[in-house]
Each structure stands twice: as structure tokens, then as C-alpha cells.
């Protein structure tokens, strides 16, 4: 029998018979590996395990410990869920798409006769378990598009018909398990029996193909893991995430609200929330001034001609709002870079003036569809800690590294770990190939020299330049994209920005667009969930609450409150005619760091007794001593 050569990821080569499958290769290495292998990458393409290999190939076995393996596993679980739903709720249900997503999967269904609710989940999960127990093989087949259209029309699956017709290809692949057939590229697990642990988590609405003018679908979310222990740990994280949800805590802590009267995606900041963001903004101003940035401020609207010149009108206008003033069109700014370039261009610059670093806490507005709005983390109006650095090309490396250090230092203050991605040129972009290559090389070189780990995210850069995206990891190991550094040779060209070089000639500066925290709104939402609303003392909107035991201490409590406030402590007084335990409990629910209890003993000695929100009592101290204590705790951040 003729042999073929299979090269494995470690560079080793093995000889196998023609027609060998990936699962057989895995078994030849070890049964343990075979049990964990769910797919294979053959010559760079992800394939099912039972695909015959007929020529010399490179083979990478994909296991459940890899992101690709989990995606295959969860995508198969999505097919099993769709089959269960179809069998339980009949032919009135049409299936649409069911991809794997971060930590799980979903499937979108169209059904006019039944509204899915969490009460349906137990029934669906029970049927899924039956399908798993049957160990149905998932069989791949290829069919002409015309035959596939005819098949799905006969099945009443109109959404599948539309997908096939829009693909515009001659053949499509289908997967069958039992009586269930789905349009799918694959790959999948060999059989349903490989699924071990799954759970339906929620249901929501979703428009077909994300188009609010199309049919409303019902999206069932779920998750799946290789074993019950991992599933249990994930569900516990989900429960903790629900408790920490910034929308829930924002209401409970009276930080912010949204109002349909005002409009979706527009934040209304309450006193404590406004104080929290003010503390962050003041911190930002201090940190930027320390690093040689100048504070600037641009207008909220600029002439549409300017947005056309920058390329935003052509490449970004679907995200912008426009208005008209005295017959002239204006764009409400979605970002702050244009005004900063006008500041630079307001006078001739010399190489001695560079770099110029302009910082603005700039409020911007972007047209987000209502379906993607999510509390503070996805809004239509927000404030960015935006800065633009204009420098000579030879200064670029030092400036990028300076921003990277800035990010590291600030995220360390908040206790965030982070990961980095280098995003390259997207399909929709402006600028020359050489400019993009130079900008990408500058970012890549700074990352390498800084010794920071990073991944390449192909094709996800800004339309005017590549970027480094910084993703924060919160207390629940979730990642959030906040800080970014974008390198731009194109806009300085479009706006004809210049500086006089050492040779007396005109030269073109390079521009870095960058944010550190990103959107203040988004960062506040992340902070709320990261700290579960129990903010560190230095950023707590209310640092202490003075609590009297009885009305006998009312005058002293008010005097202490005024003294602390005068000394710069953010303090409130709770002098209601309520029991002490009730008032302490109220303060704990508001997650206020310190309760300052005042009884007759404290009043006579001119002291107060601080109690931390977790229940520990400090020794009695004078108001001045407590002020010193607060200031000392906060000093490292000021």
C-alpha cells in the first residue's frame, strides 16, 4: 500500500497509508490525544476528523484545550440545540444561523407561534441530552447550490434559501445528524456523543442579518464545556457577572440613568456618578500635564467639508450625525483629531517645537444602532481622553514607547492586567502602501523593543492607519478594549501639516492618535464591574458617611461633617431618626468606604469611630486624624 508523509507541528514527519484520517493519526500518537482531538488543520485548513488524507500534508491536531477546538465543540452544540428546538416546537420554527461566540454559542430562530422563554430551557436541554445519548454521527456532504435551495425550500427553511442564494457559489456543504440537516462550512465533532456539558443561559431578540427592517428573530444563548466542572465554574462566573452588572449597580448606587425621553444611548449622570467621572478626569489632566501634554478644546461641530477632507465622510459617515446651520452642512464630531490638526496648523512649526502633544477630554457622538447599545459600555454620546501627538518621523519610536509606558502605569494604578493586539490595514482605508508599511513597522518595532506580548489582528486597523489595541482583563477574567495607539501618516498629508526641519526645508509630521482610558463612560462601566461597586477610597464618590447614634449627637455630627468637607474629604451625613444598625446597613449597601459613628462617648472626647464597609472597626480618632488618614491613603494617586 502506498504511503504518504505527514508533517506535525513540531516538525517531525510520519509515514501513513493513503487515506489516513486525522483521528487515526491522533490514535497512533496516543489514545489520550485522540479523546481530546476534535478537528484537524490540514495544510492550513480546518477540517473534520474523518476526512481522508490522500497526499503528503502538514497536519495540526486541534484539541479541546485550544480556542479552535472549543469553537468546533460549541458549534456542534449549536446544531444539537437547533435540532432539539425543531423537534420540540415543530415545523413552525425556522433555523437561521448558529455560530460559536466567546464562552458559548447561540442560534437564531424564526417562529410566529411560540415565544421562547427561560421556562423552555429545561425541556430543550433534556432533548439535547437525549440526542447526545444517541451518539448521532455528524455527516458532511456537498451539494449543488441549486439542489440545496430545492431541499431547503421543501423543508420550509426560507432563511437558508436566502443564505445559499446570496453566497453565489456552485456547491455548498451540509451537515446531517439524524433527521436534522443544516447548511454549514464545519468542521464539527464526529458525533453528538462527544458533547459532555452544556447549559442554555438566556434568550433575546435579534434582527435577521442585523437589519432592523428585516424579520425579528429569537436568539437563544447557551454555553458548552468539555466537562461539568468547567461548566460549573463558568456559570458561577456568569452569576458573579450578573451581580456586578454596571447597569444594575449604577441604579442601586444612584450613579447614572438612561431615559427614553432623552433618547437611547445618552447617559444622564447623577451627583455621585458625576463626581466619580470628575475624579477620573482630574486624574487624567494631572497625568497628562506631568508627561508634557498641552490641554486643548475643539468645537462639537465642524463643517462637513472638513470631514470630507479628512476621509471621515467617505469612510465613517454612517456613524456620524449631521446638522445644518444657515444652509451650511456641519458634522457633529465622532472624534477629536480634526480640531487638533487645526491647532497645529494655526502657525508655522519648527523641528524644535516637536513633538506637540494635544490632550482633550472631548465629548463625541456616534450613531450606534439601538440593538448594540449596552449600558455605559456602548453609548451614542461619550467623552474620550483623546490626545494627538505630532512629531518628526525620527521621534515616532520614542513617542509610541512613551504611550505604552503611560498605559502600563495607569492600568497598574487600577489593578488591571492587559493584552495587546496590533491591528493592520483594513479593506476600507486611505493612504499609500508605503505610509501604511512605515506606520505598521513603527508600532511593531516599539512593541518588540518594549518586550510586551502581542498578537496580530489582520485587517482591523483604523481607516487612516494601523493601531495597537490594549485589552484590559477585569476581576472576572473578561477582556475589554479601552486604550489604543494609532499611527497616521495620511491625515497630516491631507491637511498639509508641515514643520521646518534642520535643513530649513518643509517636512511632514507624523500623527499618533491615542487614548489611555478610552471612553470615560465605558471605563466607568468597567470599573463598576471590576470593583463590584466597592471603589478604592481615592475614587469613591462618597468616601465617608457620618452617622449619629441618637439626636443627642446631631449638632456634633453636623460640625464634624462640615470640618471633613472643608478639609477635602467627600463626606455625607446620615442623621435620620433611624436605628444605628439600619443606617450602617444602608451605608454598606451604598458601598461607602467608611462609616464614621458618633455616640455620646465620641462627642465628649471630640472623636469619631471609623468602621470600614466590610465591618472592621478602626480605633477612635479625631476628625483631623481621619482627614490625614484619607489624604495619606489617596496621596499615591494625586
Calculate the CA dihedral of residues 163, 165, 167, 168 and round it to 10 degrees: 180
Per the annotation, the verdict on 473 as an active-site residue is: no
pLDDT at 638: 67
Which residues, 6 or more positions from 255, have their beta carbon under 8 angstroms from its beta carbon? 249, 269, 270, 272, 273, 276, 524, 528, 541
| Catalytic choice (94, 177, 218, 384) | 384
Place of cell 439535547: 128
pLDDT at 468: 93
Which residues, 6 or more positions from 636, have their beta carbon under 8 angstroms from its beta carbon? 538
Superfamily covering domain 263-299+334-531:
Bira Bifunctional Protein; Domain 2 (3.30.930.10)
3-class DSSP state of 69: helix
Task: For residues 319 and 366, give the distance between their C-alpha atoms in angstroms, rounded to a whole number.
Answer: 5
Task: For residues 391 and 502, give the distance between their C-alpha atoms in angstroms, rounded to a whole number.
Answer: 14
Task: For residues 575 and 362, give the distance between their C-alpha atoms in angstroms, rounded to a whole number.
Answer: 40
Task: For residues 390 and 511, give the distance between their C-alpha atoms in angstroms, rounded to a whole number.
Answer: 5
pLDDT at 195: 95
Task: For residues 373 and 379, give the distance between their C-alpha atoms in angstroms, rounded to a whole number.
Answer: 6
| Catalytic choice (79, 365, 467, 583) | 467
Task: For residues 189 and 68, give the distance between their C-alpha atoms in angstroms, rounded to a whole number.
Answer: 12
Task: For residues 531 and 521, give the distance between their C-alpha atoms in angstroms, rounded to a whole number.
Answer: 16
CATH number of the domain located at residue range(s) 68-244 in this protein: 3.30.980.10
Nearest to 188 by CA among 129, 241, 132, 138: 138
pTM of the model as a whole: 0.80
| Catalytic choice (48, 108, 182, 386) | 386
Architecture of domain 537-637: 3-Layer(aba) Sandwich (3.40)
pLDDT, tens digit, 9 for 90 and up, residues 114-158: 999 999 999 999 999 999 999 999 999 999 999 999 999 999 999
Task: Evaluate whether 143 touches 217 at the Cβ level (below 8 Å).
Answer: no
| Catalytic choice (365, 425, 513, 514) | 513
Task: Evaluate whether 574 touches 547 at the Cβ level (below 8 Å).
Answer: yes
Task: For residues 566 and 492, give the distance between their C-alpha atoms in angstroms, rounded to a whole number.
Answer: 48
Query: Does domain 3-63 match CATH 3.10.20.30?
Result: yes
Task: For residues 322 and 306, give the distance between their C-alpha atoms in angstroms, rounded to a whole number.
Answer: 13
Per the annotation, the verdict on 513 as an active-site residue is: yes
CATH topology agreement for domains 3-63 and 263-299+334-531: no
- The domain segmentation of the chain, as residue ranges, is 3-63, 68-244, 263-299+334-531, 537-637
Task: For residues 294 and 281, give the distance between their C-alpha atoms in angstroms, rounded to a whole number.
Answer: 15
Phi, psi of 294 (to 5 degrees): -105, 140
Task: For residues 91 and 84, give the distance between their C-alpha atoms in angstroms, rounded to a whole number.
Answer: 12
Nearest to 570 by CA among 604, 549, 588, 596: 596
| Count of CB atoms situated within 10 Å of the CB of 213 | 7
pLDDT, tens digit, 9 for 90 and up, residues 414-430: 989 898 999 999 888 88
Give the pairing of strands 544-548 and 594-598: parallel
| Catalytic choice (86, 366, 522, 591) | 366
Crossing angle of helices 433-450 and 396-414, rounded to 10°: 50
Q: 10-residue block means of pLDDT along the chain (638 residues)?
A: 86 92 92 92 93 92 93 96 94 91 92 92 97 96 95 94 93 95 94 95 90 90 95 90 93 96 95 97 96 96 95 91 95 95 96 97 92 90 96 95 94 90 89 89 91 88 88 85 90 94 96 95 94 96 96 94 96 94 95 96 94 92 95 85
Place of cell 439601538: 370
Task: Evaluate whether 596 touches 610 at the Cβ level (below 8 Å).
Answer: yes
Task: Evaluate whether 193 touches 133 at the Cβ level (below 8 Å).
Answer: yes
| Catalytic choice (388, 530, 611, 613) | 388
Task: For residues 29 and 149, give the distance between their C-alpha atoms in angstroms, rounded to a whole number.
Answer: 42
Task: For residues 190 and 595, give the distance between their C-alpha atoms in angstroms, rounded to a whole number.
Answer: 60
**What's the first-to-final CA gap in the chain, in angstroms?**
76
Per the annotation, the verdict on 386 as an active-site residue is: yes
The DSSP code sequence of 79-130 is: HHHHHHHHHHHGGG-EE----EETTEEEEEEE-SS----GGGHHHHHHHHHH
Per the annotation, the verdict on 467 as an active-site residue is: yes
Amino acid at each position: 500500500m502506498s504511503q504518504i508523509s505527514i508533517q506535525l507541528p513540531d516538525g517531525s514527519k510520519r509515514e501513513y497509508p493513503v487515506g489516513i484520517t486525522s483521528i487515526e493519526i491522533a490514535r497512533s500518537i496516543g489514545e489520550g490525544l485522540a479523546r481530546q482531538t476534535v478537528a484537524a488543520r490540514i495544510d492550513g485548513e480546518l477540517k473534520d476528523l474523518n476526512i481522508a488524507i490522500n497526499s503528503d500534508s502538514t497536519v495540526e491536531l486541534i484539541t479541546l484545550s485550544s480556542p479552535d477546538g472549543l469553537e468546533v465543540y460549541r458549534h456542534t452544540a449549536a446544531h444539537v440545540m437547533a435540532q432539539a428546538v425543531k423537534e420540540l416546537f415543530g415545523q413552525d420554527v425556522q433555523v437561521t444561523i448558529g455560530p460559536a461566540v466567546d464562552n458559548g454559542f447561540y442560534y437564531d430562530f424564526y417562529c410566529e407561534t411560540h415565544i421562547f422563554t427561560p421556562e423552555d430551557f429545561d425541556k430543550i436541554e433534556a432533548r439535547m441530552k437525549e440526542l447526545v445519548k444517541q451518539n448521532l454521527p455528524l455527516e458532511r456532504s456537498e451539494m449543488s447550490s441549486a439542489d440545496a435551495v430545492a431541499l431547503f425550500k421543501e423543508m420550509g427553511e426560507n432563511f437558508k434559501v436566502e443564505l445559499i442564494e446570496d453566497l453565489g457559489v456552485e456547491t455548498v456543504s451540509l451537515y446531517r445528524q439524524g433527521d436534522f440537516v443544516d447548511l454549514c462550512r464545519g468542521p464539527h465533532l464526529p458525533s453528538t456523543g462527544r458533547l459532555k456539558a452544556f447549559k442554555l443561559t438566556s434568550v433575546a431578540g435579534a434582527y435577521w442579518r442585523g437589519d432592523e427592517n428585516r424579520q425579528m428573530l429569537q436568539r437563544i444563548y447557551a454555553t458548552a464545556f468539555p466537562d461539568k466542572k468547567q461548566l460549573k465554574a463558568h456559570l458561577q462566573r456568569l452569576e458573579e457577572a450578573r451581580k456586578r452588572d454596571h447597569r444594575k449597580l449604577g441604579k442601586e448606587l444612584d450613579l447614572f440613568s438612561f431615559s427614553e425621553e432623552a433618547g437611547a444611548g445618552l447617559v444622564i449622570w447623577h451627583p455621585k456618578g458625576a463626581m466619580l467621572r470628575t475624579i477620573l478626569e482630574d486624574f487624567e489632566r494631572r497625568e497628562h500635564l506631568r508627561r508634557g501634554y498641552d490641554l486643548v478644546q475643539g468645537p462639537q461641530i465642524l463643517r462637513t467639508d472638513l470631514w470630507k477632507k479628512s476621509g471621515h465622510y467617505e469612510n465613517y459617515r454612517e456613524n456620524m450625525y449631521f446638522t445644518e446651520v444657515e444652509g451650511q452642512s456641519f458634522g457633529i464630531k465622532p472624534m477629536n483629531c480634526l480640531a487638533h490638526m487645526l491647532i497645529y496648523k494655526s502657525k508655522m512649526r519648527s523641528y524644535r517645537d516637536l513633538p506637540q502633544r494635544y490632550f482633550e477630554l472631548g465629548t463625541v457622538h456616534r450613531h450606534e444602532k439601538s440593538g448594540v447599545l449596552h449600558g455605559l459600555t456602548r453609548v451614542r454620546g461619550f467623552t474620550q481622553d483623546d490626545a494627538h501627538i505630532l512629531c518628526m518621523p525620527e521621534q515616532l519610536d520614542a513617542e509610541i514607547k512613551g504611550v505604552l509606558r503611560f498605559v502600563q502605569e495607569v492600568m497598574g494604578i487600577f489593578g488591571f492586567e492587559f493584552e495587546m493586539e496590533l491591528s493592520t490595514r483594513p479593506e476600507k482605508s486611505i493612504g499609500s502602501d508605503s505610509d501604511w508599511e512605515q506606520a505598521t513597522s513603527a508600532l511593531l518595532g516599539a512593541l518588540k523593543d518594549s518586550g510586551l506580548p502581542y498578537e496580530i489582528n489582520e485587517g482591523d486597523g483604523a481607516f487612516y492607519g494601523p493601531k495597537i489595541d490594549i485589552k484590559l482583563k477585569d476581576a472576572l477574567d473578561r477582556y475589554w478594549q479601552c486604550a489604543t495607539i494609532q499611527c497616521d501618516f495620511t491625515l497630516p498629508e491631507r491637511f498639509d501639516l508641515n514643520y521646518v526641519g534642520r535643513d530649513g526645508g518643509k517636512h511632514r509630521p507624523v500623527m499618533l492618535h491615542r487614548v489611555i482610558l478610552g471612553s470615560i463612560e465605558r471605563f466607568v462601566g468597567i470599573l463598576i464591574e471590576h470593583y463590584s461597586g466597592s471603589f478604592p477610597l481615592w475614587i469613591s464618590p462618597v468616601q465617608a458617611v457620618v452617622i449619629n447614634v441618637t439626636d443627642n449627637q446631631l449638632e456634633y455630627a453636623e460640625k464634624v461633617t462640615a470640618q471633613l468637607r472643608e478639609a477635602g474629604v467627600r463626606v455625607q451625613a446620615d442623621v435620620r431618626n433611624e436605628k444605628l444598625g439600619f443606617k450602617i446597613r444602608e451605608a454598606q449597601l451604598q458601598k461607602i468606604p467608611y462609616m464614621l459613628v458618633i455616640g455620646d462617648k465620641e462627642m465628649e472626647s471630640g472623636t469619631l469611630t471609623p468602621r470600614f464597609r466590610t465591618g472592621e472597626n478602626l480605633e477612635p480618632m479625631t476628625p483631623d486624624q481621619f482627614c490625614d488618614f484619607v489624604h495619606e491613603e489617596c496621596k499615591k494617586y494625586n
